[in-house]
Structure 1
Amino acid sequence: TLDAADKRQIDLNDRQIAWFVEQGALDIFIIEHENGVPISTAKHILRADEGQLVFGVGDTGSSLTAFAKGLPNTKLRHMPSDQLWERATPEELADQVDGWITRFSASVAQQIEPRPQSHHLLDPGDQVDLEAGHVLSAHPSRLTWARAESAAYLGTEEVDNSGTGLIPLTSATWLTLVEATSVSGFNSQQLCVDDRIAQALDEFHHLILAAEQLNRLLLLADEANEQSARTTHRRIDEERALQELFGVLGGARATSQIGGSVLLAALQMIGNHEGIEFHPPQPSRVSIATEHTMRDIANASGVPFRKVRLQTQDRWWIGDSGAMLGFRKEDDSPVALIPSGYRRYRVVDPVTGESKRIDGEVATSLSDSAWSFQMTLPKDEPVEPKTLIGFVGKGMAGDFIRFAIAGFIASLLILAPPIAIGELIDWVIPSAAGSTLVQMVIALVAITFIATLIHMLRGTAIMRIEARGTARAAAATWDRLLRLPPSFFNQYTAGELATRMAVFQQMRDQISGIVANVLLSVVFLLPTFGLLFYYDSTLASFSLIIAIVSLGLTITIGMLQIAPIRRRYEVARRLGGELYQFINGMNKLRSAGAEASAFASWARKYRELQHHKIQIARLGEHNIAFSSALPALVAAALFGATLWRGVDEIDLGSFLVVYSAAMLFYVATVRLGYSFESIASIKPGYEQIEPILNALPHGITGGSATIDLSGHIQFDRISFRYTEDGPMILDDITLEVRPGEFVAIVGESGSGKSTLLRLALGLEDPSSGAVYYDERDLAYLDRRSVRRQIGVVTQDGSLMPGDILDNIIGMADDLTIEDGWRAADLANVRKDIEGMPMGMMTPVSDGS
């Protein structure tokens, strides 16, 4: 017996000696030596508690050696290995060997990432034939010795079959088959009986220390890469800062490549043009040298994206569909496709910053596929109306200016006919100036052509504003809706949310029309108003008074429409939600014979909806009736004012000019009035989407770190309730599932089974406790990245609209149709799919 507390350390490099912990505990360490001198810090591997054996590692040919240190009051018994093998029973020895190997291998294997998914869990007594590339592991709490002809332990250490060729597998370790081979499984007790346990244990020590040595080398490489990345980033950051300083004088252009990533640099060019911020994902536990994909960067930045086709015959480079990420055909290198001010695209190299105008020849050098990106609404705050308006109009100042200028010029040109009439009456006809009349005709024809061109320019500008604004608003609001937490969706039915979004679409279309009408009305009113006062201030004043009265009446009618419009929206929302429930529950309605009750419920709400529509229409008809009578009122007012002032105060030509201009003034006023009437419906419409805009997205992505899941999940003292004062659905639940395990959770309805799954997916946050993936708290992980690595079939699962292949491989870019057929074989549905009209490409819907 040895008092371990009296020695500084115990050498474990003699395979002929084992140590039995009689009292206390013994910590096992590994350290690296070179020429007998330690060159690394000691790494703790495991702790042997009272009643456990510590085996000598022996000389493995590695620079790593093992030693132990005892805790205070620790007592050890020195035992020669040959006596141990002879005296201990196979059962006792097998338990000690299994515990030693399990703890030792788990300490080394936990540093190896990513861990591959196990294809087969080997049991003692198994004899299986497996293909190359298959990964074997063992069931939790069980150690299985595997024998295979050609395999790699932990995916890196080639197995030497000159000895026993036996490899111990636990739930934390794995064996990768290099070639197709037959694999046999044994247990430690069987090896003890066959006297092969000592040699098999020595071979394990050799493999595990070789794996630890490789871990250390890879760690050094990662540290070197990280240091190199930091140095490169500092250098690029310094160069960029200097070039930006030089750029103040216009002498330099800031470098486009940031952080050493060409792809990220191209995306940041696109972001600068579109007002989108791209940033790389936070480092995961995978090697930092891993190149991020476009999807990784976009997901980390919270930016929606979609794939687009660039067809040369469509001459896609003419126009403006927003900046896009393209790729060269020759080397698949990323480039930024940026629309220029001349409505033609330019291709920009993110490395050199070179920009080239795209034509047919340049377009053929680019890939047929590109990626388009959408701006998003602020994710960390509620969206106010002014924020939404600023978001929609961002980057469209040039279009607004062109529209305003074109409208103003058109308003000036439209005054030419009234002025020409006045001149014609005043002196052209009385003086019989035929040549002047010809000139006037030619001028009016020229003005007509010019006005046509101006109207085309104005129409193009307004179409660009409406198209870009509505598309941007629709994409951003749907993106926000899809990012909202599940607790938000619990408050509304799917039909209600669909109705709210439909109201937003109607409101969006109304706003685009209102903006156009208001701008057109204002730019038409100002020149016309000036012309009226230029010719006759008295008649102009009468026209202004009538216009103000008209606007006041229109605004009043619009204000009266707000209440019934609000009630109409509320009823339509409830009706939409109810109809959706009726359609989904049609079978239940029929089985219960409740069709009449459903119809009665629908009829009551439909009647109420139509009642509010009639109220709104009645008020609208009042406005139309007044607007129809307004021309006669304007004419009567002008005639009356002329008569009251005296017919000699104004000549006929000037009166006709004023009369014509007043009619134009009236048209612009009525248009402006209709705009105010439409504005009245915006407020109740906005109230319908206000809950969506005010709700905050579910932490955007939860956390920011990404990991490759190995399959280890742990619920640590989870408690959950849906509301603060609601019942506790889960109360202090602790559960651990290791890679390779199959776990079934059963319970009566309402016991929390689905809630547990929702917590695992990050769809709900626990009231207390935490969910861990690979010992990482889900609260600090990128939840969308975690969900993409988990296959889930819900209770009411249905197919996604698309084709069969999309439903099998989902959104994974790295999966092909071959992977789809492989999955179909595993599910034994290949024949069913092949029997369909288009095989894997057969369209399906959620009702299929």
Structure 2
Amino acid sequence: MVSVPSNPGIKAVPVPVEADAGVAKATASRAAVFVPGGPAEIDHLNPRLRAMLRAARYHGVELDPNDFKGASVTAADLSEWAGNAGMWSRAVRIRWSHLLRFHDAGPVVLLLSDGGAVILAGASAERNVVLLKSVDAPEAEGPVAIDELRLSQVWTGEAVLLRAARSYIPADAPFTLKWLAELVRLEGRPLRDIGIASVTLSVLTILPPLIVMTVVNKVLQFNSMSTLVLLSAIIGVVFAYETLLGHARRLIINVVGARLDTKLQLHVFGRLLRLPLDYFERHPAGETMYHLAQIYRIREFMTGKLLSTLLDLITLCVLVPVMFYVNSTLAWIVVACAVVIMLIILAFLKPLRGRYKQVVEAETWKSAAIGETVVGIKTVKALGLEPQRKALWDDRVAEAGKARLAFGRLANWPQTLVTPIERVMVLGTMLIGAYLAMNDSSGYMVGGLFAFMMISQRVAQPLVGLARLVEDYEEVGAAIGEVASVLNRPSETSSNAVGLRPKLRGRITFSDLSFSYTGTKTPALDRVSFDVPAGTMFGIVGRSGSGKSTIARLLQGINRDYTGFLKLDGVDLKEINLRHLRRGLGVVLQDNFLFRGSIRDNIIAGRSGLTLSDAMRAAHLAGAEEFIERMPNGYDTYIEEGSPNLSGGQKQRLAIARALIHDPTILILDEATSALDPESEAVVNANLMRIASGRTMIIVSHRLASLTECDQILVMDQGKVLDVAPHATLLERCSVYRQLWSQQNRHLDGRGARPTVVPPRLI
């Protein structure tokens, strides 16, 4: 017998010799050495991450350590990591008896109290042992049998369950009424408490009318003071209990509403981020924001009218039988009025639905107009387009106003027809009840009338609310359709759950590739073929519309519906996991967006684990450090929205630093220097060789001077490849390249000089 080595605070326990290797390795934790964005060496990972990697491989899934975002390696963080990779995963706390059931369920990751982890490979209920395997054990080594006593010394009960594929998760389901109902169903426990409280309150609601009936019929008729005192005490107790229970119910409703609101907003934003770039390019920002804003109407309906109406239904189930017990004649009048109200509302639903669609369309165009104006406000101001934009806005507002007015006029009719019926439900029953009381010889009808009036007031409003709930649902149904028109589009990251994660080295191969944008017949790329060796600088030039930026888009995986082949290191790009692909890419565009925050935050761009020194290194490589250090607060200088305190060249150099921060294997500069002033362009070009060191660099540019150092330059024209060669060779044999060079360098040499005009000789 030997002792298991463990961290301080964990008591060493005797373990059989054959179990020593398994548990000793399992409890020995290493410090995590992890560089986000870079290649993670398995041996240097936290043992809990290594355990998850091995368990996932059993199911045929290769987890990427760079995807792990947890600050501390907890069970919840590990479960989220696996879930983001497309696996089904749950972080649980289980007992020994549950472990014995995992005899053939696949590997389960057990988290040890010292920060380590082991893999549960099986269990034997007959022997009362579980089979554990160390994360450091070779694949061929078998598991070790451990009993409950020994495991309890190093395990607190935390575990992560894994399965290859998620059978159903709400985040991937279409946004429909069924999805919303499932979201509400998940709040079953608090809703059950709300239901119990509502039933109790409904029962308590019955007591005051019955007590009033007793006071009128017994106390007033027989002058019974003792009965009055007793009834007063009962009323006091009922009121106090009703107040406390109502307070508790409202608190629970607020909690449920907040939880549903949070889940809805998280779901909407998550799905929005997963939409492809093509969607945002084809739909105005204002239109998208208007559609998504309808989620608040859905939320208010679910947590407001719908929930209150459902609670009122519980009250109706209790009060309606009592109402019939008190006076069936008056009760039938109330029910008949409610049915008539329902029929009136149903009759107007179809025309109201048509008018509301017109309102939605008009409001969508109105939001698109204001969104487009806000996004393009610099152009509006620069070109003096305020009158034109105001005229457009006036038209959009007028159209929306007309649509809402037409909808309001039509919606006013059911309200007009319903109002007198509502009055009959209250005042009509009172008058009829008074007539019945006058003809009642027993004298008990008066107290019953008082009781019925109190109950009917509590019943009439829910009945009318139930009828109007159908009308409200029509508007909410339209709102669900608007939100679904955005969220239910094919997700760009649907392939993030699957796909290969090869180690990118930088070789790019286009083979007979053709691509056309949606809605166009002319191909943007027509049977393009070329090869970029790993670690080379590769330039792409051509006239406007030749397909240069399309090549960059395809490399980023923005568009995947091409024909032919695009391979990275011999692997078809369509088969590569999108998140893994883009982590290996650095992209700098012609117009880059900087977020609110400090310069350091923009360079690091939310990559956990990176520090100021990393930001400084990237800024130095991009030639941005010289202007950053001149700023008042250096790297802590705050950037406002739109970056008004930075020049175009400064913004571009920060974008290059942001692209370099995670040391990408492939760096794409898509017209990245076109917006730079000559000084900034010279700084970036001077650093190109250092930037390109150890990586493949794709430079898309119309400025040929920035491509002269490239190993190869691809010349494109009308979507086709004209030539691929170094700068000097292209000048000799490619007429298009030579023409472009001459146009841009007339002032440098005579090669592109204007030809001398020889005057004609007179004969």
Task: Give the TM-score band, short-chain normalised.
Answer: 0.5 to 0.7
| Cα distance in 1, alignment partners of residues 154 and 268 from structure 2 | 35
Structure 2 residue corresponding to 1:301, chosen from 78, 83, 86 = 86
| Cα distance in 1, alignment partners of residues 155 and 549 from structure 2 | 53
Shift of 1:661: 0.8
> Does the alignment pair 1:457 with 2:248?
yes
Which residue of 1 is the match for residue 602 of structure 2? 807
Q: How does 1:53-64 map to 2 (within 5 A)?
A: none
Structure 2 residue corresponding to 1:511, chosen from 280, 283, 302 = 302
Shift of 1:718: 1.4
| Cα distance in 2, alignment partners of residues 469 and 481 from structure 1 | 18
| Cα distance in 1, alignment partners of residues 153 and 250 from structure 2 | 36
Classify 1:299/1:805 alpha carbon distance in 2 versus 1 (closer, same or farther; 3 Å).
farther
Structure 2 unaligned segments of length 5 or more: list them.
Answer: 1-34, 67-72, 91-108, 119-151, 160-167, 644-763
Shift of 1:759: 0.6
Which residue of 2 is the match for residue 743 of structure 1? 538
- CA-to-aligned-CA distance 1:94-137 (integer Å, 9 cap, x gap): xxxxxxxxxxxxxxxxxxxx9x999xxxxxxxxxxxxxxxxxxx
Aligned residues: 534
Which residue of 1 is the match for residue 697 of structure 2? none
Q: Please say if residues 281 and 296 of structure 1, whose CA atoms lie closer than 8 Å, have aligned partners that are also in contact.
A: no
> Does the alignment pair 1:728 with 2:513?
no
Task: State which drifts further: 456-465 or 767-776.
Answer: 456-465
Which residue of 2 is the match for residue 579 of structure 1? 370
| Cα distance in 2, alignment partners of residues 350 and 723 from structure 1 | 62
Q: How does 1:104-119 map to 2 (within 5 A)?
A: none
Which residue of 2 is the match for residue 543 of structure 1? 334
Classify 1:117/1:262 alpha carbon distance in 2 versus 1 (closer, same or farther; 3 Å).
closer
Shift of 1:522: 0.4
Q: Please say if residues 704 and 781 of structure 1, whose CA atoms lie closer than 8 Å, have aligned partners that are also in contact.
A: yes
Classify 1:262/1:431 alpha carbon distance in 2 versus 1 (closer, same or farther; 3 Å).
farther
Classify 1:601/1:817 alpha carbon distance in 2 versus 1 (closer, same or farther; 3 Å).
same
Residue identity opposite 1:817 in structure 2: L
Classify 1:280/1:795 alpha carbon distance in 2 versus 1 (closer, same or farther; 3 Å).
farther
- CA-to-aligned-CA distance 1:520-555 (integer Å, 9 cap, x gap): 220121211111111111111111111222333344
Q: Please say if residues 495 and 580 of structure 1, whose CA atoms lie closer than 8 Å, have aligned partners that are also in contact.
A: yes
Shift of 1:519: 0.9
Q: How does 1:624-703 map to 2 (within 5 A)?
A: 629=420, 632-642=423-433, 647-649=438-440, 651-698=445-492, 700-701=494-495, 703=498
Which residue of 1 is the match for residue 514 of structure 2? 719
Q: How does 1:114-193 map to 2 (within 5 A)?
A: none
Q: Please say if residues 529 and 665 of structure 1, whose CA atoms lie closer than 8 Å, have aligned partners that are also in contact.
A: yes
Structure 2 residue corresponding to 1:261, chosen from 38, 51, 57 = 51
> Does the alignment pair 1:787 with 2:582?
yes
Task: State which drifts further: 722-731 or 412-421.
Answer: 722-731
Q: Which has the higher helix share?
A: 2
SS of the equivalent of 2:367 reads helix
| Cα distance in 2, alignment partners of residues 258 and 285 from structure 1 | 11
SS of the equivalent of 1:847 reads coil
Q: Which has the larger radius of gyration?
A: 1
Which residue of 2 is the match for residue 466 of structure 1? 257
- CA-to-aligned-CA distance 1:350-373 (integer Å, 9 cap, x gap): 9835379xxxxxxxxxxxxxxxxx
Residue identity opposite 1:301 in structure 2: G
Q: Please say if residues 63 and 82 of structure 2, whose CA atoms lie closer than 8 Å, have aligned partners that are also in contact.
A: no
Residue identity opposite 2:605 in structure 1: G
What TM-score does the superposition give when structure 2 sets the normalisation length?
A: 0.62
Residue identity opposite 1:761 in structure 2: Q
Shift of 1:415: 2.0
| Cα distance in 1, alignment partners of residues 610 and 493 from structure 2 | 29
Which residue of 2 is the match for residue 401 of structure 1? 192
| Cα distance in 2, alignment partners of residues 775 and 285 from structure 1 | 23
Classify 1:298/1:834 alpha carbon distance in 2 versus 1 (closer, same or farther; 3 Å).
farther
Q: Please say if residues 112 and 156 of structure 2, whose CA atoms lie closer than 8 Å, have aligned partners that are also in contact.
A: no
| Cα distance in 2, alignment partners of residues 328 and 572 from structure 1 | 57
Q: Please say if residues 437 and 446 of structure 2, whose CA atoms lie closer than 8 Å, have aligned partners that are also in contact.
A: no
Residue identity opposite 2:623 in structure 1: N
SS of the equivalent of 2:512 reads strand
Shift of 1:743: 1.6
Residue identity opposite 1:352 in structure 2: W
Q: How does 1:66-105 map to 2 (within 5 A)?
A: none
| Cα distance in 1, alignment partners of residues 388 and 262 from structure 2 | 41
Classify 1:350/1:642 alpha carbon distance in 2 versus 1 (closer, same or farther; 3 Å).
farther
Shift of 1:698: 2.6
Classify 1:398/1:263 alpha carbon distance in 2 versus 1 (closer, same or farther; 3 Å).
farther
- CA-to-aligned-CA distance 1:276-326 (integer Å, 9 cap, x gap): xx988427899xxxx999585354138999xxxxxxxxxxxxxxxxxxx9x
| Cα distance in 2, alignment partners of residues 395 and 810 from structure 1 | 35
Which residue of 2 is the match for residue 166 of structure 1? none
| Cα distance in 2, alignment partners of residues 781 and 350 from structure 1 | 43
Structure 2 residue corresponding to 1:443, chosen from 234, 237, 240 = 234
Classify 1:843/1:263 alpha carbon distance in 2 versus 1 (closer, same or farther; 3 Å).
farther
Q: Please say if residues 287 and 368 of structure 2, whose CA atoms lie closer than 8 Å, have aligned partners that are also in contact.
A: yes
Q: Please say if residues 283 and 705 of structure 1, whose CA atoms lie closer than 8 Å, have aligned partners that are also in contact.
A: no
Which residue of 1 is the match for residue 157 of structure 2? 354
Shift of 1:742: 1.4
| Cα distance in 2, alignment partners of residues 395 and 521 from structure 1 | 21
- CA-to-aligned-CA distance 1:198-245 (integer Å, 9 cap, x gap): xxxxxxxxxxxxxxxxxxxx9xxx9xx9xxxxxxxxxxxxxxxxxxxx
| Cα distance in 2, alignment partners of residues 513 and 713 from structure 1 | 56
Structure 2 residue corresponding to 1:282, chosen from 59, 62, 77 = 62
Cα root mean square deviation, aligned: 4.2
SS of the equivalent of 2:155 reads coil
Which residue of 2 is the match for residue 485 of structure 1? 276
Which residue of 2 is the match for residue 8 of structure 1? none
Q: Please say if residues 286 and 372 of structure 2, whose CA atoms lie closer than 8 Å, have aligned partners that are also in contact.
A: yes
SS of the equivalent of 1:744 reads strand
Classify 1:618/1:571 alpha carbon distance in 2 versus 1 (closer, same or farther; 3 Å).
same
> Does the alignment pair 1:498 with 2:289?
yes
Q: Which has the higher contact order (CA 8 A, sep 6+)?
A: 2
Q: Please say if residues 302 and 700 of structure 1, whose CA atoms lie closer than 8 Å, have aligned partners that are also in contact.
A: no
> Does the alignment pair 1:765 with 2:560?
yes
Q: Please say if residues 281 and 297 of structure 1, whose CA atoms lie closer than 8 Å, have aligned partners that are also in contact.
A: no
Residue identity opposite 1:354 in structure 2: G
Q: Please say if residues 280 and 300 of structure 1, whose CA atoms lie closer than 8 Å, have aligned partners that are also in contact.
A: no
Task: State which drifts further: 696-705 or 437-446.
Answer: 696-705
Classify 1:584/1:395 alpha carbon distance in 2 versus 1 (closer, same or farther; 3 Å).
closer
Residue identity opposite 2:550 in structure 1: T
Classify 1:258/1:419 alpha carbon distance in 2 versus 1 (closer, same or farther; 3 Å).
farther
Q: Percent identity?
A: 23
| Cα distance in 2, alignment partners of residues 537 and 264 from structure 1 | 71
- CA-to-aligned-CA distance 1:8-28 (integer Å, 9 cap, x gap): xxxxxxxxxxxxxxxxxxxxx
| Cα distance in 2, alignment partners of residues 791 and 478 from structure 1 | 24
| Cα distance in 1, alignment partners of residues 348 and 178 from structure 2 | 29
| Cα distance in 2, alignment partners of residues 557 and 440 from structure 1 | 48
Q: Please say if residues 309 and 462 of structure 2, whose CA atoms lie closer than 8 Å, have aligned partners that are also in contact.
A: no
| Cα distance in 2, alignment partners of residues 428 and 569 from structure 1 | 60
Structure 2 residue corresponding to 1:589, chosen from 369, 377, 380 = 380
Classify 1:117/1:445 alpha carbon distance in 2 versus 1 (closer, same or farther; 3 Å).
closer
SS of the equivalent of 1:706 reads coil
SS of the equivalent of 2:495 reads coil
| Cα distance in 1, alignment partners of residues 306 and 381 from structure 2 | 49
Structure 1 unaligned segments of length 5 or more: list them.
Answer: 1-113, 119-217, 226-256, 269-277, 306-324, 335-348, 357-374
Structure 1 residue corresponding to 2:397, chosen from 586, 606, 616 = 606
Which residue of 2 is the match for residue 754 of structure 1? 549
Q: Please say if residues 437 and 445 of structure 2, whose CA atoms lie closer than 8 Å, have aligned partners that are also in contact.
A: no
Shift of 1:563: 2.6
